A and B are shown apart, each in its own frame.
Chain A
Amino acid sequence: MTTDLITRLEKIVGPRFVSGEAEERYLYSMDQGTMPPAVPDAVVMPKNSDEVQQIVRLANELKVPVVPMGAGLVLSGLTRALKGGIILDMKRMNRIIVVNPISRYAVVEGGASQGMLKAYLKKHHPGLKHSMPDAPPIATLAGNVCIHGSGHLSVLGGSHSDMLTGMEVVLPSGEIIRTGACSVSPDWFGRSPLPDLSGLFLGWSGTTGIVTRLGIKLFPNYKHNDVLIFVSEDADLMPDMISKLTSTQVAEDMTPWMSPKPDWARGFLHINIAYGAHSKKELTFKRNLMQASVREYIDRKIAGFLPLPPPQKGRFLKIPSPDLARFADLRKGGGFEYVGAIMAIEHFPAAYRAGLAIAEKFNVGYSLGARIIGAGHSMMFFFAYAFNRADAEDVKRASEALEATNTAALKIGGIPWKAELPAQKQIIEKMDPNTFALMGRIRSVLDPNHIMNPGNWEK
């Protein structure tokens, strides 16, 4: 069957873009996270929607699983072929199709990367930017939107799926459909006022279709940019501080962080706040608004803004931020995974304490932090653990810590984000049974042969 599969895939995309070789299958069997490898039968790289459609039809015919993959950087093993089959690597579909500078959106292909769009905008539309995650720039826009990612404009624009304006999707049965305004109009300006079908493909971990095009919102790229770092020592005050700072509605990004490294940072709670403006005067005005919002804490001398001379700010204004990637190599061996749990802001103190307790219990290197989503509407609280991939004991400890973290996050009222298999099961356990049953019915309608990334979101 495998030889037949490879030959038929070759017919669709050409022999250079299919592989059934052991080396490729090994490389595509895992990501940098802790999930064990799962080896695919074939890897294929289509060039356009038509080829994706043909691959999906072939998979239906042969009853072979298809796993859509962007850069495979999700870290929670969602692009592993759990039941074998085809990994559909989207990286060749990387065109930026259109940028609308007035209605501020871009339409890109399903494999276009964050870095490519950033470079394209810098060159052709320097007055615009999109919300970059801190993932390596090769991460794809589609992969990130599909997992409800967040990034450098998330206080301004919410999660990246909130910034989605429409999609073209190859359904598991092979039809190509569109969601959002682009299903009616030539423009990709938004998802309203139609029945919103985009949700059928967001947060489903590639189990409901393959996104071949998507529209995403763009935002003004300011000439003047600045960062503030607010420091305090009491986790219980964080929800109110975040609420006050976001109430000014001038920040673009807000990322609390708590880390035992470097040594001086241990025990302090920091909030990095990035913001921009057209002029220095406007920048100062925005800074003053944010400072005034927390003046009560400053006057009580229990929190304040770190004095950062301009040359020291550059590091904090880098997009993507290099800090997480640096942490990823803390234990050498390049192992790194985090549980990100989306939760209400008021759970910050409980999440912080749970993270500290778990890191101590499992003796793992940790970094805790969050990204605020929307004007203080929720946050992605992350518990990151570094481990040495070459040390089995270390990997085991990190896995156990991650599992304990998922349990703790759910208990607090949060929901593990881009959940790996065990976490999906924990979520399902807590989920309203009718909701889970509806998910199953939707999947059977869309994917009668159950070929799309099977193994995920199942009991």
Chain B
Amino acid sequence: MKPIKFDPAVCVNCDTIDCLMKCQYISFTDISEAREEKLKINDGRDSRVLTQCLTCYACQEYCPFENNPFYLLVERQEEKGILPAPKPIVEEQLRMMAPRGRIAPQAVSGPVVDMCAFPMLTGCVRGKLFEGATTIVGTDIFCNIMWLHFAKNSIIRERVPLMIDNIMSFYLKNSDTNELVCFHDECYGTYTSVADAYGIEVPFKPIHQFDYYNQRLNVLKDSIKPINAKIVYQRPCSNRLSPQTDKVLDEIFAKIGAERVPRKHDRENALCCGGVPRAHQRDELADELVDKNINDMLSVGATYCVFNCPFCMATLGQEVAEKGLMPVLVSDLVQIALGE
């Protein structure tokens, strides 16, 4: 087993302890307390952070040195047998999302769009935006990043290489492309950030959905009818693993005439949608997060609430719609601008 890529010396010399000082869910009296807790984690000692963590992934982004604080935290949780969620909840989901071995070779040609384990989303891949695309989907290619929320690095280590192997041998190996468009932000995070930190080899080139849309919009620029609408954006946990793509999203919005109205809980201050805390049996906190997010969205006045992650949309979509905002995925919004 390869250890998580992380250098304790970098933390020892760190002036800011941003990973913990910026955490929106755990408070520290001062930087020295945060430092003390971080060093405990690094050394494998007990730390209250290990039990209080919401698993929001944000510290991955906060660390200015890319020292993988969140992946290490999950590693320590698992080593110590700390369960963020009750065992049966984790075990049942582990089975639900297990590879079924029902995958069969399929002729694909670019662009190949990875829909992760969610067949209900394949309907999103349509029209000019995805012209000529092939979709691949199923639990045999599930990115498995969700186990970061459940202290299960071991499952990531076990299943991700298998998924990568499936993607290559059943789809990409005999195709005309080596690129995989990740419709799901989490897949991109897995095949870039996680793979790098966990020492997992990725033989294909993952393309983030935003990079793909951005490029397509260049090609389709004559078809764009700017939507001229204000939008609020719900940034998901997984986007902390590829923060550079947030700027690409700005370019997309600019191209389609969508104004991303600044709100308190966007960008680096994005708040969890409330989905994962429910699995952790912290429903009252989840309610609070839902309220904070929605009140924040409503306070700035927008027409659309744009989601990157389908799970965030499932968690918040209904409530958002009841409050008068239209919930859409980024791909939906782009398609609206393309007149589809």
Binding site for B on A (CB under 8 A): 231-233, 263-265, 268, 284, 287-288, 291, 297-298, 301-312
Contact = CB atoms under 8 A, between A and B. Distances in A.
Interface residues of B, number: 25
B87 A263 contact: no
Contacts of B314: 309-312
A98 B278 CA distance: 44
B121 to A, nearest CB: 13
Nearest to A310: B318
Contacts of B281: 291, 298, 304-305
Nearest to A265: B92
A338 to B, nearest CB: 24
Nearest to B310: A309
Contacts of B83: 301
B279 interface: yes
B87 A306 contact: no
B275 A231 contact: no
A284 B284 CA distance: 9
A264 B95 contact: yes
- Return the 7 tightest CB-CB contacts between A and B, nearest first: A304-B86, A309-B314, A264-B95, A307-B279, A307-B278, A264-B96, A304-B89
Contact of A306 (B92, B95, B315): B92
Interface string B301-332: 00000000001001101110000000000000
Given A301-B85, A310-B315, 5 more contacts: A291-B283, A304-B281, A306-B92, A309-B275, A310-B319
Interface in B85-110: 85-89, 91-92, 95-96, 98
Among B88, B95, B96, B278, max chain A CB count under 10 A is at: B88
Interface string B282-296: 011001000000000
A268 B278 CA distance: 19
Contacts of A304: 85-86, 88-89, 281
Contacts of B317: 310-311
Contact of A302 (B86, B92, B279, B319): B86
A309 B315 contact: yes
B83 to A, nearest CB: 5
A231 B318 CA distance: 25
Contacts of B279: 307
B89 A306 contact: yes
B318 A311 contact: yes
A394 B246 CA distance: 60
A295 to B, nearest CB: 8
20 contacts: A231-B86, A231-B92, A232-B88, A233-B88, A268-B92, A288-B284, A301-B83, A301-B85, A301-B86, A302-B87, A303-B86, A303-B88, A304-B88, A304-B281, A305-B89, A305-B283, A309-B275, A309-B315, A310-B318, A312-B314
A304 B311 CA distance: 20
B92 A288 contact: no
Given A264-B96, A287-B283, A288-B284, A307 B88 contact: no
Nearest to B311: A309
Nearest to A291: B283
Contact of B92 (A264, A287, A297): A264
Nearest to A266: B95
A265 B98 CA distance: 13
Nearest to A305: B281
Interface string B238-275: 00000000000000000000000000000000000001
Contact of A284 (B278, B287, B318): B287
A302 B89 CA distance: 9
Contacts of A308: 278
A263 B92 contact: no
Contacts of A302: 86-88
Contacts of A233: 87-88, 91
Contacts of B318: 310-311
